Amino acid sequence: MKQTNKNLLRKWESLCGILFIQLFLSVSFATSPVVKEECVLIINANQEFAPLSNQVIGELIYSLPSEYKGTTIVSENLNLLQVQNEEQMDTVRMNLFTRYVNKKPKLIIVMGGNTWVLVHEELEKHWKDVPIILFAEKDYLASPETYLQKLPVDRNEQISLKSVIRGRNMTVVYAPLYVKETIELMYKQIPDMDELIFISDRRWFSAQNRQEVAETVVKYYPNLKLRFLTEGQKAMDEVVDSLKRVNGNTGILYAAWESSDTLLSRPTLLIHTYRVVSQYAVRPVFTLTDMVGQIGLVGGYFSQEKDISKAIANVSVEILNGKKASDIPITKVVAGPVFNYEEMLRVGLCPKLCPPGTFFYYRPVGFVEQNRYMLGVTALCVVFGIIILLVRIRFLNNIRKMQAKQILLMSNYNNLFDDMPVVYLKCTLIRGENGGVEDYIISDVNPSFEKHFWTKEETLGKRGSVLNSPEVYTRFKEYMDVADREHKSVSFPVHAVNGHNYDVLIMASNIPGIVNIFCMDTTELIHTRQSLQTINHKLSMVLSMVDITPWKWHTKEEVVWFDANKPIDEKEWLEVKEGAFAVPVSKILQGIHKDHIKHIKRVFQDLMNGKIKKVNEQFRILSIRGTEFDWVEVWAVVDETDETGKPLTLIGSALTITDRKKMEEELIASKEKAEEANRLKSAFIANISHEIRTPLNAIVGFSGVLDSAKTDEERKEYLRIIEHNNQLLLQLINDVIDLSKIEAGTLDFATSNIFLDDLMKELERTFRFKLTSNEVSLYFDDTHAQCYIRSDRNRLMQVMNNLLSNAVKFTPKGSIHFGFSCIENNMLRFYVADTGPGIPKEYQTTIFGRFVKLNSFTQGIGLGLAICETIVKYMGGDIGVESESGKGATFWFTIPYQPIKGE
């Protein structure tokens, strides 16, 4: 009860607001029966447009430039619901234009397509040059008789908006109705919906909506039962009774209910709608237009009045700023799902089922939004407190930094001692009766010692003989004695009790009997050395695997040392030492192939003379086995020089490239094959020239004897022969051009919107004239209506032309039929079937190859099907043939199906 009272109060507030706006606007913008100054004129069809007009006026007042702020804005209501014939319409027109004698509006805004159709002749007669904005909810218009008789218009009688505005200083703001989208929203809330009730009145707009709802249900929801409740055909008592008796699987869609008998005003109509919906409908009621949050209507998919008014106002500002209306494209208003949140809860619907981006009227305000001002003040207070706290912290930090600097100056020495990464300990020597060191006591250690060994509590005052192992203790005692007696530093390695390796340095201090000991942990260094040895070994293995051999040439000794990556056979002239073998330079020169020896000598001589910086040469050299020549790639640079700059050593590498050379030879052979293919292509061009010459000779020959024809029949025969050979020549040239484009990868494709039925009927008409025998019939299997797709029309026609031409060529009698159908995975399947001789099984896999001709006596070069296959593959489809010898053939191909909405 509380919620009902709240909703009723909100409704009366909205009603009073609308009445106040209408009263205010009527006083402000239409104060006299005759307008005597320039204005912006808004023409409405009926009262139902009045609230939208008021919103448009409000948006214009807010959006108009400063120089137009004083412009009068007038809203005229034609009340077309009362107009039944042309005589009444003449009276309406006369009353309208009487009020604007000798004055032209700056801008005319026509609300509704029916308004434009019924008054546009008078508008153009009186105000031909005045810019016009037409607000329409349909993308088409109808004849005046259709609007006056309140009848739906057939599709073939519809007049598109584009044709209406063409040639006029006029633009359109378009806010269509979304019937299918609204029904989808109903299914989300009522998944088991099996019946749809559509409530509307007798106006033309409602009649057209009933037609669109019926078409949508038949096309997309064939299992949904549709029932109409129409004002004039159903009394209010019958409507109420129907709404009371609907079951849980029934959806109710409301369009309008305005009686021409009662002449209900818009506020009264809203109250009447509230009563019908709230009191009598037991199921939620959806709507096709903006309910502006009215109670009793749940919502739907539509453009909101605020968006429509804003779009009209924006276009108006552009025109008033000097832009021609005809230069402004059609403006489509945004739309989306809109619901009344409180009404959804009242009728038991779930707002969570609404799609993302849904706009809700009366959605509860969250805590943050409700208390945003208080939260903002609180946040400012917190920020202010934080700033004060940060200033105080910074002040205290500055004091602490000054104190820390003083402490730092006093503790630099201690920090140096404590932070040393080297282990340090101070020891006091204990000498025996003979003067030798018998033991030592640890008197001080640094933190590094504690990290590596023991804490101070465990160490200070302890003897070395107790803490260390006998071996370490003995070595320490011996070297301490030497360092203290000889007053020098002694270093040695040691393996400590913690498992680490250390380099130990013992230094005598200025105090007798006291020594300082420093220990550097060398464990990681030892591990690194071991790792380097491992890496060197791995590197050697890698060099061996890639067959790269590093070498070093000692110029004075005339010997080249090679790293032995592979096991070698020891020979008498080879000197092997530590994994490397030495080869005399003279022996190497003897192994170089005679074709390269002079060049190699000259290059290395230039390197040693400083003429070049490096050597990179490929040549053949006798293998280590001495049985064959291997190709090697040698790199070399100067490594060391003497005081005069003369090279002492050269370093480099040798890579065996015999396999690579073999590959290069194979590539050269492949290149020669490609050149041979090019020569074959030239031969193909010669053959093409022969094929072109045949129809060309016929054209030239019969053209020459055409004037000498004695009879009309003879002249017609010559012309037929010339035309036939023209077609053959054109097809041959087109195939050759397409083949060259395919080879170059430049075959062009351009997509456009295609109405397939028109395209197929055009092919049917064309090829019926190409039939050479009366015993052959050709027809298109027209099984799909209104099929619009987006594809390349020219390439689609090219494929169908090729297939139909082949069918006509090879079918002496019988029939040829073709068509298309929708198959799974959003594909279209096209086919051409004939009753010709068919294609044997063994040729069906090769028929799509280039230059393939099953009948050598027919004209052509066998490129048509190959080009068709390339086009279809590029379009994302497939092509094939189904045939048996003597039983005809069916060529088919598929392309992706991209449906579009037909205009």
Give DSSP secondary structure letters for 291-344: -TT-TT--EEEE--HHHHHHHHHHHHHHHHTT--GGGSPPEEPP-EEEEEHHHH
92 & 147 share domain: yes
Q: How far apart are CA 77 and CA 49, in angstroms?
A: 8
Q: Which residues pair with 654 in a beta bridge?
A: 549, 634
Q: How confident is the model at residue 474 (pLDDT cuts 50, 70, 90)?
A: confident
Q: How confident is the model at residue 551 (pLDDT cuts 50, 70, 90)?
A: confident
Please, what is the Cα angle at 633 between 628 and 637, to 5 degrees? 135
Q: How far apart are CA 573 and CA 563, in angstroms?
A: 16
Chain centroid offset of residue 665 CA? 46
Q: How far apart are CA 186 and CA 344, in angstroms?
A: 12
68 & 217 share domain: no
Tell me, yes or no, whether 710 lies in a domain.
no
pLDDT of 366 strictly over 80 = no
Predicted confidence (pLDDT) per residue in 327-336, tens digit: 999 999 999 9
Of 156, 174, 192, the position where a domain reaches its end is: 174
Share of residues in the chain with pLDDT > 90 (%):
11
Tell me, yes or no, whether 88 lies in a domain.
yes
In total, how many domains does the chain have? 5
Residue 65, both tokens = 């430039």
Segment 749-760 mean pLDDT: 86
CATH code of 135's domain: 3.40.50
Of the candidates 184, 195, 308, which has an alpha carbon nearest to the alpha carbon of residue 249? 195
pLDDT of 560 strictly over 90 = no
What kind and span of H or E run contains 629?
A: strand 629-641
Residue 489 DSSP symbol:
-
194 & 221 share domain: yes
64 & 114 share domain: yes
Q: How confident is the model at residue 263 (pLDDT cuts 50, 70, 90)?
A: very low
pLDDT of 715 strictly over 70 = yes
Segment 254-260 mean pLDDT: 70
Residue 893's pLDDT is: 94
Residue 266's pLDDT is: 41
Higher pLDDT, 440 or 861: 440
428 & 491 share domain: yes
Alpha-carbon distance values, 430 to 177, 434, 445, 505, 518 (Å)? 108, 11, 18, 19, 19
160 & 56 share domain: yes
Residue 70's pLDDT is: 73
Q: Pick left, alpha or beta for residue 151 (phi over 0 → left; psi -120 to 50 → alpha; otherwise beta).
A: beta
Sign (positive or negative) of CA dihedral 720, 722, 727, 731: positive
Length of the chain, in residues: 903
878 & 769 share domain: yes
- Spatial CB neighbours of 238, under 8 Å, sequence gap ≥ 6: 229
Q: By mean pLDDT, which of 269-278, 355-364, 627-636, 774-783 is the weakest?
A: 269-278
Of 150, 174, 198, the position where a domain reaches its end is: 174
Alpha-carbon distance values, 243 to 188, 196, 197 (Å)? 21, 12, 9
Dmax (CA) of the chain: 155
Q: How many CB atoms are located within 10 Å of the residue 244 CB?
A: 11
What residue type is assigned to position 364 of the chain? Answer: P
Residue 225's pLDDT is: 92
Average pLDDT, the chain: 80
Question: Quick check: 789 and 758 in contact, CB under 8 A?
Answer: no
CATH code of 477's domain: 3.30.450.20
Tell me, yes or no, whether 543 lies in a domain.
no
What kind and span of H or E run contains 606?
A: helix 597-608
What kind and span of H or E run contains 87?
A: helix 86-98
Alpha-carbon distance values, 373 to 264, 370, 384, 594 (Å)? 44, 8, 17, 97
Q: Which residues pair with 423 in a beta bridge?
A: 519
Tell me, yes or no, whether 563 lies in a domain.
no
Predicted confidence (pLDDT) per residue in 850-876, tens digit: 666 666 556 556 677 888 888 899 888
Give the domain range for residue 151. 15-174
170 & 66 share domain: yes
